[in-house]
Structure 1
Amino acid sequence: MPLPHLVRFDWAMKRLLRHKSNFVVLEGFLSSLLEEKITIRSILESEGNKDDFTDKFNRVDLLAEDSKGELIIVEVQNNRELDYFLRMLYGVSKAVTEYISEGDLYEKIRKVYSVNIVYFDLGQGTDYVYHGR
């Protein structure tokens, strides 16, 4: 008897999200996880979001927003990275700077959350869900 083909969550999520009509599935997951109404704004092209050729890639998979206008960046990561927490910090910092315009007051900086679905041990905590600050 052949083994069934297993479908990975990241593959299923990206395939499902190719159609905006399916955003409600992930919006429901994120709303439950964050206990806040979440709306997906866009799927981000992770390899094409460099502002300058010297800039690092910001491998965020999608951008969402909560009911207070705060931003949520979501990334699915399969490969272990030793500096993953620094990469998360970079992604959040990039989102902060992309959503404020020249001339805007700094009080207009929007709070940004980073949701990372990873397939490796982050090396901290004892549960499947980590809340860092």
Structure 2
Amino acid sequence: MNVLFVDDEAGFLDIIIKRFRKRHIDASGVPDGEQAIERISEGNFDVVVLDVQIPGHRSGIKVLEEIKSRWPLIEVIMLTGHAMLDAARAGMDNGAFDYMVKPVDFDELYYKIIDAYKNKSLQETKLKNKMIN
């Protein structure tokens, strides 16, 4: 499973990537939306954990919209602070798998990512079966 974390908090990225790698998940991170789109274009990601408030020309919602437009099977989990709950809910309306409020509990995030990966795998299987029939 490949997971991309998009967050401008370098300390958070370092810690979360190390913790997920200890659980044998291929995790990487970028600090903004432009780099996120670039990395997704180059790689094969299953789940993206995306902060609603990221620097750059694209907001978290704009990045979500582009991901779902170009790679609809990638599942996206939005991260938000309490003040940005409306934005996270807007993310759900735009195809996000779910959202979580920061600070996130590592185990909760881990299980949410597992659920998102299972959902992606299920959608891929349905698509393959539809193509065969």
Provide TM-score, normalisation by structure 1: 0.29
Give the structure with the larger helix fraction: 2
Higher relative contact order (CA 8 A, sep 6+): 2
Specify the structure having the higher radius of gyration (Cα): 1
TM-score by structure 2 length?
0.29
